[in-house]
Structure 1
Amino acid sequence: MTGWLAVLFSKLVSLGERVVAPLRRGDGPNKFRLSSMDTATTTYDGDTGWARRPPATVECPRCEAEIFQHNARDDLDCSRCVGEYSHESFADLRLLYLTCPVCRSRMEHGQRHPERFDIPEWATCTDCRYHWEFEHSYDTRTD
């Protein structure tokens, strides 16, 4: 009977570890990260500023291949054709998606002031609730 209880206990511990594993953060004193859409009502992590923008994937205007830009200041070089673009031409390229730096999922992104900016102004990961904001000041007056 003790062998049977040991096996049952081991199975329950294993099941508990599998349930808790996605919630574990693993660094620092806070060992858990509640990432489920049902449990996350606010963002958990975040950054501001263009220099801290999440990695982006844009479309090459020459061959329509995806070009990955890890950092906002990195130049864009197409791996399929000879397309080379300066980081300053980011706004001229078609943004396909931003990648969450925490969980590597595709992020929702958008603009709050499309009449003033040609770049994304915010991005949120629906998986881990990471949020990024383009920090800027703007004049809303219309003279």
Structure 2
Amino acid sequence: MTGRLRTLFSKLRWIAERVAAPLRTGDGPNKFRLSSVDTATTTYDGDIGWASRPPATVRCPQCDAEIFQHNARDDLDCPRCVGEFDPEAFGDLELLHLTCPVCRGRMEHGQRHPGSFDIPEWATCTSCRYHWEFEHSYD
């Protein structure tokens, strides 16, 4: 009977270790997400700076097609017409939405200083609570 109890205890311990493994933090940041948007009021993950801006979708001013820009430094090339725009033209184009790099949902975005910048200054995903900030100084 003792052998069976040891085997059972050993299997239960193995199962408990497998369940607890994702909850433990290692050497790096804890990327395990166990949150509900309805109960959470803070963000859990995020980036700062224009180079870390989430992927964006803008409207082509020539044909009204949607142009997807994965990285803030990528050129904007319209998939429908011959419209090509430098990354610096981003502020002149109509921003349709930003895409969350974590869950691929649409992000809420806005400006804190609309008179100073023609680009979004923040974006938050309402699904996974990822948050991005455009960092700047007033010097």
Shorter-normalised TM range = 0.7 to 0.9
Distance 1:107 1:27, change over 3 A: farther
Instruction: State the aligned residue count.
Output: 115
User: Alpha carbon RMSD of aligned pairs, Å?
Assistant: 1.9
State the 4+ residue runs in structure 1 displaced beyond 2 angstroms.
25-32
Partner of 1:102: 102
- Unaligned stretches of 5+ residues in structure 1: 1-24
1:108-127 paired onto structure 2 within 5 Å: 108-127=108-127
Q: Distance in 1 between matches of 2:67 and 2:23?
A: 32
Partner of 2:90: 90
Q: Distance in 1 between matches of 2:109 and 2:80?
A: 26
Kept in 2, the 8 Å contact 1:34–1:40? The answer is no
Kept in 2, the 8 Å contact 1:55–1:101? The answer is yes
Greater C-alpha Rg? 2
TM-score by length of 1: 0.75
Q: Percent identity?
A: 80
- Unaligned stretches of 5+ residues in structure 2: 1-21
* CA-CA distance at 1:38 after TM superposition: 1.8
Distance 1:31 1:58, change over 3 A: closer
